[in-house]
Structure formats: C-alpha cells, structure tokens
Amino acid sequence: MAAIEIISEKPANPTAIGFTEKMETYHSPAEAMKLMRYFKTGEGEYGEGDIFMGVRMGQIFALAKAYINMPLEEIEKLLDSPIHEIRTGALSIIDKQARSKKTTLDQRKLLYELYLRKHDRINNWDLVDICAPHVVGGYLYLSGAPRDVLYKLALSEVIWERRTAIVATGYFIKKGDIEDTFRIAELLLGDKHDLIHKATGWMLRSAGQVHRGQLQKFLDQYAATMPRTLLRYAIEHFDKPLRSHYMGLKRAG
C-alpha cells in the first residue's frame, strides 16, 4: 500500500483551482472503483450517479489542512464540483475552520449558512458526518441561535437533511446537552432508511454516555417498536444481559 503524502506547506493563495489540481495528482482508477462500490453509486442505491476520482480520505484531509485558509467563495466552488472527493475536501476545510479557536462567531455563522445553502451538494452520509457537528451544531450551541432548523431538517423528505438534523446534535452531546438528541431521535423513529437508523442509534448511544438513565428511559418507551438497527446501535455499550433485555422487548398486542 502506497504511503499517504503528508502536505505541510500552505499555499499563499488557496484557491479552488489549486486544490483541485493537487487532488487530481492523487487519483487512482482502482481506488475510484472501490469507493463507488462502498458509497453505493449503483442504480437505485442511495449514492446513485455520484462520481469518484479515487483519492484516499487521508490524502483529502491532509490537503484540506494545508488549504484551511481558503476563502468561503472558493470553498463554495469546490462544493459545486460533481466529484465526491472534491466536495469532501470542501467540507473538511469548513470543518477545520469551524474547529479553529481563531474562528469568530460571525465567521462560524457564515460557515453554517454555507452548509445549509449548499445542502444539495452534501449528498452522502460521509459528507454530512464530516462537519455537521461542528459547523451546524457548533454554531447553534455557541451562538444560542434557535434550534428550530434541526427539527425542520428532521422532517425533510431528503435523507441527508434528516441525517444532518441528528448528527449535528453530536456537538451538543459533547457539551452535556442531550435534550435535542432525544427529541429529534423521537421524530426519526419511524424513518424507513437504515442510514438514519444508524445515525440516530449512534447519537442515542453517545447521549447515553452522558446520562445512561435518560437513554434507558427512552428505550423503555420505544425499544419494542423502534427499528432493530437503530436499537442495536443505541445499546452497543450496554452489557450483554441489558442488550438482550431490550432486543427481546416486543410490541404490545
């Protein structure tokens, strides 16, 4: 396996063109085929039609680190790319900017607004997960802005917007703020897509690490009827007897 190049030099003028040209030097047809299978790009699959150039995640993240100071208008150009890895790079840059202590609240707001404005370009689970916590959840938490947007996203017909709604609460959870996670999870219990089941179970499991009792109270109410994948993700850290208890609950009547 070839070593991943570690990029340390930051360009003086980080542009979308420069980023794309550098990314193109890493492309691999064999890697592209692997990624197309992994991200389900076949007919009728959730990633249908997405295009991959075959760049490893480590290379993308290293390049994003070097291009962390890219202006928002250039990042937006990257988000408009039809290439999945280019959009991944754009979102990784956004995430790194949102995580930086140097980023002001006004700048965080611009990142947040860009994410929501270009959500149609954030169209797979990995793209959501890269930056929804710090870009969306982080801004809402630090600004104190109303969180109604998450509840609107949770009711969206677009799977990736629903995933943003629950994954964004990951930032709240790290701050010990878990109420929105449970409320949004409740809205998503009837979702038909396993990628929402997995994300919701993941966030519930994380919330349970903050307050085990609240997770168990939620499960006592819903475990018998919630999707099995969601439940398995939520109880992953329980001991075997407790996992067996919740998996064994059946719908009344």
* Vertex 137 angle, CA 133 and 140, to 5°: 160
Half-sphere exposure of 206 (CA within 13 A, CB side): 24
Give the global pTM.
0.93
Domains belonging to the chain, first-starting first, are 1-145 (1.25.10.90), 152-253 (1.25.10.90)
pLDDT of residue 7: 52
- Of 10, 130, 7, the residue nearest 70 (C-alpha): 10
pLDDT of residue 163: 98
- Of 141, 213, 127, 211, the residue nearest 170 (C-alpha): 141
**Beta carbons of 82 and 20 less than 8 angstroms apart:** no
Q: Which letter does DSSP use for residue 83 in this model? A: B
H-assigned helices in 39-144: 57-66, 72-79, 84-99, 105-117, 125-131, 138-143
Distance CA 115, CA 131 (A): 9
- Of 56, 93, 58, 51, the residue nearest 72 (C-alpha): 93
**Beta carbons of 30 and 37 less than 8 angstroms apart:** no
What radius of gyration do the chain's Cα atoms show?
19
Q: Which residue has the tokens 């930051």?
A: 10
pLDDT of residue 11: 87
The pLDDT profile of the chain, 253 residues, written as one tens digit per residue, is 344 454 557 888 999 999 999 999 999 999 999 999 989 999 999 999 999 999 999 999 999 999 999 999 999 999 999 999 999 999 999 999 999 999 999 999 999 999 999 999 999 999 999 999 999 999 999 999 999 999 999 999 999 999 999 999 999 999 999 999 999 999 999 999 999 999 999 999 999 999 999 999 999 999 999 999 999 999 999 999 999 999 999 875 4
**Beta carbons of 166 and 188 less than 8 angstroms apart:** yes
**Beta carbons of 165 and 154 less than 8 angstroms apart:** yes
